[in-house]
Structure 1
Amino acid sequence: MSTQPDNAMTHDVGAQDANERIASQLEPREVGGRYYNGYWQQEYEVLHINDKPDGWRSWEMTVRWADGRETTHGTAWDPKRDRVIAQPPQPDVTIVSIGRLHDEDEGEWADVLQRATIALDLRRHFRDPHALSVDLRQLTAHDQVVRDTVMGTAGVREVLAATALQVQGYLAGPTAAPLTVVTQCAGGRHRAATTAMALRAVIAGDVEEAAAYGLADAAQQFADRDLVVHLIHRDLDKDVVDR
């Protein structure tokens, strides 16, 4: 017999119903895809999808129309009038940064550790900028000083270079399959996000960007691979967790 409280079960069912409703309204649309809106009779590209917007909407997306305008709205897919122009290419490698203090949060990437091919846990071996400096606490990997602090930590570059070699090994295997690499820290705003950004530059073969992280040599090995690499920050923009 389950010991789960009835209200928890109701919450889980309600969340599942909400996710299914959002998925049915989005239908085939994905970030990077191009579609035709039959009502406005225009093509558009999906730039961003937000399933937790502020306000009354349960989801919204930002699109760029054929005339260059960008708008944000929550218009449901109409299979009778809308159509797919081009779906985005499926990633060879998806890199997801997470903060383990947010593991109870719901969302598309809530169970990403269960799907991970490679998972890096940075919590114990590498110092936390959150604890290192009060000045860094409210900043994130969007800020250069945070990236410099993380990448300046002894051992971080070696771990990332070794992870890139792991990715090469998996890609060389006889069975073609997409990879998911997860970087983990406590809050998801500093260590995990910075190392995910660095890995994306390396595996995408972007030598110039990787050089900013001190990983140009590692990126050079991927320079001619033309891999499709997606970068997801699950928790980067969430509020600071008091701890």
Structure 2
Amino acid sequence: MSLGTVEIVSFGYLHDAPPAAHLTVDLREHFRDPHVSPELRYMTALDEPVRVAVMNTPGIADLVTSVAAAVTAFASGPSAGKVTVADGCAGGRHRAPTFANALAERLRADGHTVTVHHRDLAKPVVNR
């Protein structure tokens, strides 16, 4: 039995405005950006070293758990429909897609039906 349908969209604030969502998670200020590491800068969340760096950041696992609980609360509402979560970082290539995939894995384990879209993952690295 599915608890609810969830759409997760990862994005980069430096590319465009955040997508419309019920919950928007801004990962920019509180979590270290792999972009600052030259060896990770041109990789993406599709690369294991980036995923390890992001998921080993203090607080990320707790945030996944907290956002999953919030999604379940939204999905439990009396007029529950699809719940959309947008999570963003600066460029949308490292933190946001890694977080989105971890959240999707958690929500699926909890019984939700989940789709994930990485809006800016394939865009070029933003020079800043």
TM-score bracket, normalised by the shorter chain, equals over 0.9
Larger-Rg structure: 1
Q: Which residue of 2 aligns with 1:135?
A: 39
Q: Which residue of 2 aligns with 1:198?
A: 102
Distance 1:232 1:141 in 2: 13
Which whole-Å deviations, capped at 9, do the CAs of 1:163-211 have from their partners, x for residues lacking one? 0000111111111211100111000000001000101111111xxxxxx
Q: Which residue of 1 aligns with 2:7?
A: 94
Q: Which residue of 2 aligns with 1:118?
A: 23
- Which residue among 120, 132, 144 is the counterpart of 2:48? 144
Unaligned 5+ segments in structure 2 are none
User: Displacement, 1:111?
Assistant: 5.8
Q: Which residue of 2 aligns with 1:236?
A: 121
CA contact (8 A) 2:11 2:89 kept: yes
- Which residue among 162, 165, 179 is the counterpart of 2:66? 162
CA contact (8 A) 2:18 2:86 kept: no
Distance 1:192 1:174 in 2: 30
Distance 1:102 1:111 in 2: 9
Equivalent pairs counted in the alignment come to 125
User: Displacement, 1:230?
Assistant: 0.6
Question: Residue type matched to 1:182 in 2?
Answer: A
Which whole-Å deviations, capped at 9, do the CAs of 1:36-57 have from their partners, x for residues lacking one? xxxxxxxxxxxxxxxxxxxxxx
Kindly report structure 1 stretches of 4+ aligned residues shifted beyond 4 Å: none
TM-aligned CA distance change 1:111 to 1:154, over 3 Å = closer
Q: Which residue of 2 aligns with 1:74?
A: none
Distance 1:237 1:179 in 2: 25
Which whole-Å deviations, capped at 9, do the CAs of 1:121-167 have from their partners, x for residues lacking one? 00001110001x10100100000100000010001111110000001
Q: Which residue of 2 aligns with 1:54?
A: none
Which whole-Å deviations, capped at 9, do the CAs of 1:72-113 have from their partners, x for residues lacking one? xxxxxxxxxxxxxxxxxxx8100000001101xxxxxx661x
TM-aligned CA distance change 1:150 to 1:118, over 3 Å = same
2:66 matches 1:181: no
Q: CA RMSD in A?
A: 1.3
Distance 2:80 2:55 in 1: 32
Higher RCO (CA-CA < 8 Å; seq separation 6+): 2
TM-score (norm 1): 0.50
